[in-house]
Amino acid sequence: MELYFIRHGQSINNAKTSNPEHEEHADPYLTEIGLEQADLLAKYLKERPLITYETGWNEQNQYGFGFTHIYASLMERAVATAAPTARALGIPFSAWTEIHEEGGIYAREKDSRFRGLPGKPRSFYEKNFPKLKLPDDYNESGWWNRPFETDEQRQPRADKVLADLIARHGDREGQPKERIALVSHGGFFVRLVSAMLQLPWRQGAHGMRSWFLLNNCSISRFDIHKDWLTVCYMNRTEHLPARLISG
């Protein structure tokens, strides 16, 4: 399996990070910059279909990407980022609830901060993203409907997502290799990398705190084959012009 992690495009919360007056959205939408990033990502991937190359390793995708599946979290910014690529490539496009950002959907207002919220109802995605395959049990009551996700719940969720990925898409004898795109979030990326490499959460050498930086609409690649896991690259943004590099 080749696993490609794509961070969502710039959200309204990303754009307003430095503005102390900004009231964060519980489920932020993409800005105009975020929508342009998502469109350029789709164009870049469409122009690079898989080219058969039998004698070498396509480790930098110099011969194309060839995605077979796209999964997006059910946060609006992730679905809106994934949709143009799914449309351009014409491949399966499914929601994966558990690849959401840390914390889940929760209130940001001072008096009710961290109170769990419902999340978007099913009809929102059916109307705005009709090609997205939704979970069967997802209805008008929303997809979250849980308390704020605690620190203790986050790493086990990423561990389970990794196990489920391998169970769904791991290499099988006699079957073509699968190339999976996860369109998700920066905090969840660090948890997933920690799961893959069995790293202690945010610990670095000499008592430093560590982090894996991802820009909006960046691409990272991990190859998982039998008893090998290879980090091919992280945070590639060559498909975006300098003016659209954002974090």
User: Which CATH number do you get for residue 221?
Assistant: 3.40.50.1240
Average pLDDT for residues 54-79, to the nearest whole number?
A: 92
Mean pLDDT of 198-218: 95
What does the pLDDT read at residue 18?
Answer: 72
| Amino acid in the structure at residue 236 | R
Q: What are the residues facing 219 on neighbouring strands? A: 6, 236
Average pLDDT, the chain: 94
The total of other beta-carbon atoms located within 10 Å of residue 39's CB is 16
Domain extent for 122: 2-244
pLDDT at 174: 86
- Strand intervals (E) in the chain: 2-7, 69-72, 93-95, 179-184, 219-225, 228-236
Distance CA 6, CA 37 (A): 12
- pLDDT tens-digit map of 144-172: 999 999 999 999 999 999 999 999 999 99
Q: How many domains does the chain have?
A: 1
DSSP state of 190: H
Q: Is the pLDDT of residue 175 over 90?
A: no
3-state secondary structure at position 81: helix
pLDDT at residue 54 is higher than 70: no
**Paired tokens of 61:** 């995708």
pTM over 0.75: yes
pLDDT score at 55 = 66
